[in-house]
A = this chain, B = another copy of it.
Amino acid sequence: MTVSRTLSFPHLVSPETREKVAAAVRATGYIPNRLASSLASNQTRTIGAIIPTLRNSIAASFTDGLRDTLRRNGYHVLLGNSEFEPEDEEALVTEFLSRRVDGIYLTGSTHTERTRQMLRENGVPTVEIASLPQDPVDMAVGFSNYDAAYAVTRMFAKQGYAKVALFTTFTKNNERQQERQKGYWAAVEEFGLDSDPRLVSEVAMDLKAAAQNLIALLERRPDVEALFCTGDFIAAGALLEAQRRGIRVPEDLAIAGFDGLEIADNLNPSLTTVQIPRHEIGVLAGQMLLDRINGLPVGGRVVDLGFEIICRESTAKNLPRELTFTSLQTEVHE
């Protein structure tokens, strides 16, 4: 029809017919059918995004940047939760592929073999975020979870702490948390810290679980000097529980978090944490997908956006400047 032309390329149509079409559209309340459009043009202008969960989730805040970028370019986001289950993720990828999304955004780099295979055979632009995978499905943008955890633990060591506990969230199917744990152990070994495994716990991602785990930790190891939590919510829960029990932070127990959430800066004492470029990661992930879709050359396949340790009141302050271990410059691997 001429209608299609009028709506897509108004300048190719005479002002009169343009007006006629506009009138008809108004009169009938016509709304173009994007399904038919997508079927014919072979593009949906939709990106499928999979995040573990929306609850207390940092991953959710990454998608803000993604959405901004996509929206500006006329793209939309189809959202799915994997609940940290690779099989659920696989089902979602299948679903997205059957809807012919133009790109796929995955959180982390833990996927089933079938997921990787489907994605690669399909050739759909894919970006993995929050990790620096050795073997990316396609593209990736994130930071080194290992380095960040190593740096925080090293910071504690250099401040003279010898008994540093670690709370991670569940590491199952979550290579980010696994990497953080590895970084911790590496620093423990390198700096000769107490390597008692009872200093390490896996904690559910909520304040109450953190509080309970702090109590248990203090029973196991009442001599613990510092606590590194690989999530600000966990750290907040521990800090608030310490407050309730009259444990002084950082004098009796130093605490550091991870993520750089707003709450870290507002607790009393304010919480030392690892700031990660959440928004930037989302924005860049969106841009990389768009570039790939538009056939532009995409520079590096794995982009490291770094992190920054923010030292606040919850850890001792006598910190050598060079230990802040800022790595916020962009590094491109491969």
User: Which residues of A line the B interface, CB within 8 A?
Assistant: 29, 31-36, 38-39, 44, 54-56, 60-61, 63-64, 67, 76-81, 94-95, 97-100, 118, 121-122, 206-208, 211, 236-237, 240, 243-244, 262-263, 265-268
Contacts and interface: CB of A to CB of B under 8 A. Distances in A.
A216 B265 CA distance: 20
B60 A54 contact: yes
A63 B44 CA distance: 24
Given A35-B99, A36-B39, 9 more contacts: A29-B118, A35-B39, A39-B39, A67-B81, A208-B266, A236-B263, A237-B266, A240-B268, A243-B268
B61 A100 contact: no
A94 B7 CA distance: 15
A64 B56 CA distance: 12
Nearest to A62: B54
Contact of A61 (B54, B61, B64, B118): B54
A97 B31 contact: yes
* Interface SS, A side: helix
A-B interface, 8 closest residue pairs, ranked by CB to CB distance from nearest: A207-B266, A79-B79, A34-B98, A35-B39, A34-B99, A31-B97, A31-B98, A35-B38
Given A64-B54, A95-B76, A100 B262 contact: no
A99 B39 CA distance: 12
A33 B95 CA distance: 10
A303 B13 CA distance: 50
15 contacts: A31-B118, A31-B122, A32-B98, A34-B98, A36-B39, A39-B39, A54-B54, A54-B63, A76-B95, A78-B79, A79-B79, A208-B262, A237-B266, A240-B266, A240-B268
Given A34-B98, A39-B36, A79-B79, A55 B44 contact: no
A279 to B, nearest CB: 10
Contact of A244 (B67, B80, B243, B268): B268
A33 B262 contact: no
Contact of A33 (B29, B61, B100, B240): B100
A313 to B, nearest CB: 11
A44 B29 CA distance: 21
A114 to B, nearest CB: 10
A104 B207 CA distance: 34
Contacts of A236: 263, 266
A244 to B, nearest CB: 6
Interface centre among A33, A35, A79, A267 (most CB of B within 10 A): A35
A265 to B, nearest CB: 8
A81 B31 CA distance: 21
Contacts of A60: 54, 60
B33 A98 contact: yes
